[in-house]
Amino acid sequence: MHVSGGDLQRLRQLNSLSSIRALRDARRPLTLTELAAHTGLSRGSIVDVVTDLQERGWIAEVEPSPGGMGRPARRYRFRADAGHVLGIDIGVHKVLATITDLNGRAVASGRTSVSPGTPREQRLDAMNRAMDAALIAAGLTSDQMWGVAAGSVGVVDREGVITRVEALPDWAGTDLVGHLAARLPCPITIENDSKLAALAEQRLGVAAGVRDLVYLHAGRRPGAALILNGRPYHGFSGATGEVGLMEITGWRTMTDHLESCPAAAGAPAEDAAALVFGAARTGDPAARAAVEAYAQDLALGTAAMVLTLDPEVVVLGGGFSRSADVLLAPLREALAPHCLRVPEIRPSTLGEECVVLGAACLALDHIDHMFFSPEGALSPPTAPQRPTPA
Amino acid sequence: MHVSGGDLQRLRQLNSLSSIRALRDARRPLTLTELAAHTGLSRGSIVDVVTDLQERGWIAEVEPSPGGMGRPARRYRFRADAGHVLGIDIGVHKVLATITDLNGRAVASGRTSVSPGTPREQRLDAMNRAMDAALIAAGLTSDQMWGVAAGSVGVVDREGVITRVEALPDWAGTDLVGHLAARLPCPITIENDSKLAALAEQRLGVAAGVRDLVYLHAGRRPGAALILNGRPYHGFSGATGEVGLMEITGWRTMTDHLESCPAAAGAPAEDAAALVFGAARTGDPAARAAVEAYAQDLALGTAAMVLTLDPEVVVLGGGFSRSADVLLAPLREALAPHCLRVPEIRPSTLGEECVVLGAACLALDHIDHMFFSPEGALSPPTAPQRPTPA
DNA sequence: TCCTTTTTGATGGAAACCTCATTATGTACG
DNA sequence: CGTACATAATGAGGTTTCCATCAAAAAGGA
């Protein structure tokens, strides 16, 4: 909580920001009287603030709403289309890029396919193509982007360096920031993909507004991410949610239960899980047993996190969350004996878009911090530039 | 980050708070020129603000510092003695009460002894006596307290109710808030004792300024508490750090290693640990083995938290931290094989005072939030009253 | 004694806010 | 169709707060 104060212009700036925030959060046009109520300012001052913001292009006037007593009031809306951010998901099998407006609404996206073996340069190239496709679809250029955030597999430290990654052979140490900086002048953030998925679920998804949650990435490479006190939790070096590395949790071997199930016999390892979940859905006893054994192991590591953090909600995400209908009940039952209070378990709903949307949320958060800080001027809406290193 | 804005008086209020904070954080008298630099205000405005604050009693003028070029500057200090808060630690064997000034410096304290079997009413009475002793020692009355925070064993929920406690038979459900409210008109906060110890270590102790830390309570009743993103973490229902409840951590039985050690033969269970640690210190092989076995078990649950949270520091607190000299190395070694990155492990230094000081910190935080919020007026410094329930 | 350095105090001016009275522009109703 | 009512916009006058600037004051050193 930074108390700043300042001069009269700073006060006006704060009041302008207050108005913008009110308009943005209301998600509908507001009248001057409503704005005055929201901000606590007098009517006259709100008029000043609003005409100023309108001249600068932050807000726009809309038709007065018909049918009401008294003289119809002017109404204003936040111009969410004044700027855009870019979210990127660099996955193992695909790269997604999505452009959203300042409200976080997706306006365009691009996609390219890669494989686990794709070498670094080609993966970066795939990222470039996905970005370009999204930009073209949105009809925007790269210097119109206000911010970018990219999600990647692996451990991402505070400087955005990927320090550890198992799934991709030559991906660790990739200078993602540098690579993006060459093509985009705006601020850049890199984060772990599960953390972004968790953020998306907490902002837009099944855990909207939840203060404390554990996001479980259930899939071929299990993982977890945390939202604590309402904010994404990064830890000291970014290596959070790695409880599955402990032998006693069984996370390293739990997919064996699925892959060695008769229902998956002969199929390639990456299809095994889906086949077993499908068989379990139709009642196959061996498949059900395999799912239960998997859930038992998953519950061990989950219980360790739940007992440590006492979250309100556990979000079940990752590829296996598509099979939440057969996985949820066994997981809940396996969790119960370990926990003091069993948190609500909700299957993820955002699906494949989860990480890109989370990335866009993070980029929006970043520019929010910039604009709402004392230094971040409330200039006419233009794409912020990265501060040039001194 | 709440953007508030407001009218001109609010601006003045913000600037006043900014000045108060600068004076408080500097921990030394500042000149008007220094204050102007800190707050970014012009000199003339600072004069206004300062004379205003001085009239209201928030700051005081001190002797100009001699020996310097030019005309000697007036200097002002924050009047930390303008108000006081009360911290209480309701332990199993003792009740502590400490009164600190607005800088968190202890000015007086009181102490009473209790035993695990002491029934609720007598324990509350012991608390009253400790409080009264502290008040008398400080020469203050209960209505001069600006805030109280009490730490208790057991799980404390958001409303301050003790929902679960193992160590004290009839303590769960105690209406601590109600009890304190009958004797103190100021805001009241209740929190779990380990969480307060962690807070104290992060504010005043061995982990000052650390953003993410795990506080290990190593003692006869093991536990843990978390500071995450620089703030105490409470969880949804307050039951955090309970990873020791899982069988696989071995936390429920790990003290058996110490109690069954020959070095502790014949001694009562509560002295066993100290004897074993003492024997280990002199090189007794059986005692060393017992300590190592204990450390192995302690490391399991700790590793689960470290892998989940990736903290910068683990603080070793609780009764056994007095024996950190023999416990630290085995714990560090036992932790290493499980962790991606072994956090720094630091033994607690605040000792018995830990919880009371943490309680005082929490009470200070609470009034900070009150005064620095738009509503909390910057009236002349007087004890805030609890809002009367409507 | 004079000069340099730094703080202090005073004045004028501008920005931003508030209040209150007046005017404008709709709907409702006789 | 005209009047009453309700709400919104506008404008005048006043207050608070801040800034910039400049002369005066208070020390130490030459």
Question: Domain boundaries in chain A?
Answer: 5-78, 83-199+353-372, 208-349
**The pTM of the whole model exceeds 0.85:** yes
Domain B83-199+353-372 has CATH 3.30.460.10: no
Looking at domain A208-349, what is its CATH homologous superfamily?
Answer: ATPase, nucleotide binding domain (3.30.420.40)
> At A3, is the pLDDT very low, low, confident or very high (cuts 50, 70, 90)?
low
Tell me the DSSP string of B80-143: GGG-EEEEEEE-SSEEEEEEEETTS-EEEEEEEE--TT--HHHHHHHHHHHHHHHHHHHT--GG
Q: Do B308 and A309 touch (CB under 8 A)?
A: yes
- Residue B369 has what pLDDT? 87
Cβ of B354 under 8 Å from any chain A Cβ? Answer: no
Residue B383 has pLDDT above 90, yes or no: no
- Residue B263 has what pLDDT? 84
Which residues of B fall within a CB distance of 8 Å from A226? 308-309
Residue B194 has pLDDT above 90, yes or no: yes
What percent of chain A clears pLDDT 90, i.e. is strictly above it? 83
Q: Is the CB of A73 under 7 A from strand D?
A: yes
> At A25, is the pLDDT very low, low, confident or very high (cuts 50, 70, 90)?
very high
Q: What is the pLDDT of residues A228-251, one digit of tens each?
A: 999 999 999 999 999 999 988 989
CB proximity under 8 Å: A 201-260 to B = 211-212, 224, 226, 228-229, 231, 233, 235-246, 248
| CA geometry: angle A315, A317, A319, nearest 5 deg | 165
User: How far apart are the C-alpha atoms of B383 and B196, rounded to whole Å?
Assistant: 23
For B313, nearest residue in chain A (alpha carbons)? A236
Domain A5-78 has CATH 1.10.10.10: yes
What percent of chain A clears pLDDT 70, i.e. is strictly above it? 96
> At A64, is the pLDDT very low, low, confident or very high (cuts 50, 70, 90)?
confident
d(CA A72, C1' D13) / Å = 28
Length of chain B, please? Answer: 390
CB proximity under 8 Å: A 288-347 to B = 300, 303-305, 307-312, 338, 340-341, 343
Is the fold of B83-199+353-372 the same as that of B208-349?
yes
Residue B108 has pLDDT above 80, yes or no: yes
Residue A68 has pLDDT above 70, yes or no: yes
- Residue B261 has what pLDDT? 86
Q: What is the pLDDT of residues A176-220, one digit of tens each?
A: 999 999 999 999 999 999 999 999 999 999 999 999 999 999 999
The amino acid occupying position A192 is: N
Which residues of A fall within a CB distance of 8 Å from B164? 340
Q: CB contacts < 8 Å between A and B, how many?
A: 164
Between A211 and B64, residue with greater pLDDT: A211
Q: How far is CA B148 from CA A45, A274, B145, B327, B346, in A?
A: 41, 56, 7, 35, 29
- Which single residue is written with the structure tokens 């519950």? A299
CB proximity under 8 Å: B 93-152 to A = none
User: How far apart are the C-alpha atoms of A150 and A177, rounded to whole Å?
Assistant: 9
- Residue B388 has what pLDDT? 63
> At A270, is the pLDDT very low, low, confident or very high (cuts 50, 70, 90)?
confident
- Residue A236 has what pLDDT? 98
- Residue A303 has what pLDDT? 97
> At A266, is the pLDDT very low, low, confident or very high (cuts 50, 70, 90)?
confident
Nucleic chain D contacts, protein chain B, residues 52-91, CB cut-off 7 A: 66-72
d(CA B150, C1' C11) / Å = 54
Average the pLDDT over each of A111-115, A371-375, B314-318 and give the range with the smallest value. A371-375
Q: Is the CB of A63 under 7 A from strand D?
A: no
Which residues of A fall within a CB distance of 8 Å from B229? 228-229, 231, 233
Q: Do B341 and A308 touch (CB under 8 A)?
A: no
Average the pLDDT over each of A82-86, A350-354, B118-122, B374-378 and give the range with the smallest value. B374-378
Which residues of A fall within a CB distance of 8 Å from B244? 307
Q: Nearest residue to D27 (CA, C1')? A: B71
Q: Is the CB of A309 under 7 A from strand D?
A: no
Residue of B3, B243, B244 with shortest CB distance to A14:
B3
> At B71, is the pLDDT very low, low, confident or very high (cuts 50, 70, 90)?
confident
Rounded to 5 degrees, φ, ψ at A269 are -55, -35
CB proximity under 8 Å: A 22-41 to B = 39-41
Q: Do B4 and A11 touch (CB under 8 A)?
A: no
The mean pLDDT value for B163-177 works out to 92
Provide the mean pLDDT of chain A: 93
> At A154, is the pLDDT very low, low, confident or very high (cuts 50, 70, 90)?
very high
